[in-house]
Structures are given as structure tokens and as C-alpha cells.
């Protein structure tokens, strides 16, 4: 998946990967296959995963709140960047479950997304991402991992995805 926010920008920002609450809905939720991959991968630090399949956040000295266990707060670099979870790759876009519909949304707390929201670049990426997520391969992954569909606040709706009815 192509990335929207340039990594140089992310390295300077101190926003995402940091959480107010230890059990935050914003903590990355892992696909089932990612949980297996992380358990088998000796190149990245071991992490624990909650019953809801979210990464268990950690407290860090000198930090307010909690951190993603993959984040090195000293240099703001992700220790698992090349194998980072699907939700992290997707960010600042989010899969929001609302009224039994799956909506592609954008996190309004991301300064880059907020700055670029009304640009042709943003609109082009949103179309690309919606097409990618609506592909049959991605829909199969999402159908097998409905736990990644969350109810986020402070987001802006972009487009409804062609996800089958989630009310059953």
C-alpha cells in the first residue's frame, strides 16, 4: 500500500504512536495473520496483544500517557516499520464502523492530513485507497478480521466502503 504521509514528516511529528489511555481504541489492532507473524518474527521486539487484538501499550519514562511498544521515543522511529501492522500502514486513514457501515475516515489529529485535506493530492490518494480497500483481496482480509473495524471519534468521513452488512 502506498503511504500518504511522507516518513520525513512522521519522524518530526510527536503525535501518533502515543496514547492518553492504556486501553485506547487508537492502539493498533492487529489482523489475525499479523499476530502470528509477530510471534514468529525474531527481528522485531516481542509484544503482547490484548484479548481485543490491540497492541498492549507501554508506559515510558518522561512521556505523558502510553506508547506503542514498537516506538523508540528517543528518535521517534518504529522498531517494526518494515513489518508494521496494517492499521499503521493505513494511518492517518482509519476504518470506522458506524451504523453497520464501514467508512474510510481520516484522523483530524494528524497535522499532515489536516494540512493536505483539501488538496488534489489528498483527493487522489483517497480514491486510490478506497479502490485498494474495496478490492476483493482486501475485502476478504477485512471480512476475516472484523475486529479491526473500530468506532473512532474526531475523524472526518471520506467514503463508505463496499463492505457487506455488518449487522449479522
| pLDDT digit string, tens, across residues 54-70 | 999 999 778 789 999 99
Overall number of domains in the chain: 2
Q: What percent of the chain has pLDDT over 90?
A: 58
Higher pLDDT, 126 or 168: 126
165 within some domain: no
- Say yes or no: 97 and 125 in one domain: yes
Domain interval for residue 58: 17-86
Model confidence, pTM: 0.90
Q: 167 vs 100, 133, 150, CA distance in Å? A: 6, 20, 14
**Residue 56 shares a structural domain with residue 26:** yes
Residues 98 and 72 in one domain: no
User: What pLDDT does 99 receive?
Assistant: 85
Q: What is the pLDDT of residue 168?
A: 44
pLDDT of residue 165: 61
Amino acid at each position: 500500500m502506498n503511504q500518504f504521509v511522507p516518513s520525513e514528516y512522521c519522524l518530526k511529528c510527536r503525535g501518533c504512536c502515543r496514547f492518553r489511555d492504556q486501553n485506547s481504541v487508537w492502539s493498533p489492532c492487529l489482523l489475525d495473520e499479523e499476530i502470528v507473524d509477530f510471534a514468529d518474527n525474531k527481528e522485531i521486539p516481542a509484544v503482547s496483544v490484548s484479548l481485543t487484538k490491540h497492541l498492549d501499550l507501554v508506559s515510558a519514562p518522561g512521556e505523558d500517557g502510553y506508547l506503542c511498544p514498537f516506538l523508540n521515543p528517543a528518535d521517534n522511529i518504529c522498531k517494526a516499520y518494515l513489518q508494521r501492522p496494517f492499521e499503521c500502514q493505513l494511518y492517518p486513514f482509519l476504518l470506522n464502523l458506524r451504523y453497520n457501515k464501514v467508512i474510510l475516515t481520516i484522523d483530524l489529529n494528524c497535522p499532515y492530513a489536516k494540512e493536505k485535506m483539501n488538496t488534489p493530492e489528498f483527493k487522489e490518494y483517497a480514491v486510490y485507497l478506497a479502490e485498494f480497500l474495496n478490492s476483493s483481496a482486501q475485502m476478504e482480509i477485512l471480512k476475516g478480521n472484523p475486529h479491526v473495524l473500530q468506532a473512532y471519534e474526531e475523524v472526518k468521513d471520506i467514503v463508505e466502503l463496499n463492505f457487506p452488512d455488518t449487522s449479522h
